Amino acid sequence: MMNQFSFDLTAGRLQRDFGIQRAVNNAEAKTPGWTDIAREYLIVFMRTHNQFSGEMFREWAVASGLPLPPHLRAFGGVMRKAAIDGMIRKIGNIQVTNPTAHCATAGLWEVV
Q: pLDDT at position 78, please?
A: 96
105: left (phi over 0), alpha (psi -120 to 50) or beta: beta
Amino acid identity of residue 91, one-letter, is I
Local structure of residue 104 (DSSP, 8 states): -
Q: pLDDT at position 63, please?
A: 98
Q: Are 87 and 101 in contact (CB under 8 A)?
A: no
Q: pLDDT at position 9, please?
A: 77
Amino acid identity of residue 49, one-letter, is H
What is the residue extent of each domain of the chain? 2-111
Q: What is the CATH number of domain 2-111?
A: 1.10.10
Q: pLDDT at position 2, please?
A: 55
Per-position pLDDT tens, the chain of length 112: 555 555 677 888 888 888 999 999 999 999 999 999 999 999 999 999 999 999 999 999 999 999 999 999 999 999 999 999 999 999 999 998 888 777 888 899 999 9
Q: pLDDT at position 28, please?
A: 97
